[in-house]
Amino acid sequence: MKNIHQWHWPRVAQTFIGLFFIGAGLFKLQNYFLVGDQSLTRHFQFWIDNAWPPLWSLPLFHWGQSHHLFLSALVIALQIIPGILLVLHWHTRIAATVLFFMQMGIFIGTFHHLGFNEFVGTSLWIALFYLLKPQKNLWSWPLLTYLFVGLALLQLYNRFVVGDPWLSTVTWQREHLAADVMSIHPLWKNFILAIAHMRWGTYLWAASWWIQLACVLGLLTRFRLSFSAILICLWFLHIWTWMNGITSQGVLWLLATFVWMTEEYQQQNLNKSTACHGEPVEPDTRCHPSTSSG
């Protein structure tokens, strides 16, 4: 009988996640040491000036400001090294643990900012996913699904605050896209702007938020895999359109959705295998799917 479990898709997702964190570490290496136009001292001070960290954590960030070179090197290492381990599929749980505690520090520092809660919260979800390895644990996958839906709702709330669901904001968003945003290609940008200037395109622009909300809520239904496929397509097009405006935050959302979707696909196949044969087949993540007779 053919093995219906496509174990290579979770491996592809993990590779992309690892590359993302390698890129994040290299970006910090360039900014903190090679170019030197940014520093953790200024980042921490900006967080403190905006009252983002909890009061109990302020001494930690003041300490970090006086040891910023050491801490900068540590932050870079704790993103690049786990990223490499994820790409190579070595010691995944150790890499996830390191990333979880590293990203938790950023989460605490930006605790009172909902935008960072969404962004850093997504990276924490990814680290928690690889830490728990849900395919071997019955309770962890529902927990991770509820957390993912919660983060997606937070992302939609942040977009609700700036007016995405309403027709009244379409005009200024369209002008912002035309004047300030670089899309994946000028032809794509002109195509989107041409649609946005049409009457039905204006409604479609505002409806995008509501479609995303319906799909996120659909992740709690038995059609969740189909809804996640729609979501990943919408967010992919969103990144194409708002490339330099959405930055790495949009990329991380796309990757997190891909991770969730591949695992959900795997979970559904495990359930089918259990129903047919009485016990689930554990994945062999070291190789591609094999074929056996039965």
Q: What is the pLDDT of residue 91?
A: 95
In a shared domain, residues 128 and 159: no
Name the residue with higher pLDDT: 142 or 136.
142
- Per-residue pLDDT of 37-74, as tens digits, reads 889 999 999 999 999 999 999 999 999 999 999 999 99
Q: What is the pLDDT of residue 290?
A: 36
Q: What is the mean pLDDT of residues 263-280?
A: 73
Q: What is the pLDDT of residue 83?
A: 97
Contact 28, 39 (CB under 8 A): no
CA 243 – CA 76 distance, rounded (Å): 24
Residue 201 covered by a domain: yes
In a shared domain, residues 2 and 128: yes
In a shared domain, residues 123 and 170: no
Q: How many CA atoms lie within 13 A of 261 on its CB side?
A: 21
Total domain count for the chain? 2
Residue 287 covered by a domain: no
* Percent residues over pLDDT 90 in the chain: 79
In a shared domain, residues 111 and 17: yes
Task: Share the mean pLDDT of the chain.
Answer: 89
Whether pTM exceeds 0.85: yes
Q: What is the pLDDT of residue 135?
A: 66
Domain boundaries, position 54? 1-132
Residue 281 covered by a domain: no
In a shared domain, residues 41 and 127: yes
In a shared domain, residues 112 and 203: no
Residue 28 covered by a domain: yes
The DSSP code for 175 is H
Contact 21, 79 (CB under 8 A): yes
CA 14 – CA 20 distance, rounded (Å): 10
In a shared domain, residues 229 and 165: yes
Residue 32 covered by a domain: yes
In a shared domain, residues 7 and 115: yes
For residue 291, the cross-strand partners are 2
CA 102 – CA 74 distance, rounded (Å): 9
- Per-residue pLDDT of 171-214, as tens digits, reads 999 999 999 999 999 999 999 999 999 999 999 999 999 999 99
In a shared domain, residues 126 and 161: no
In a shared domain, residues 16 and 90: yes
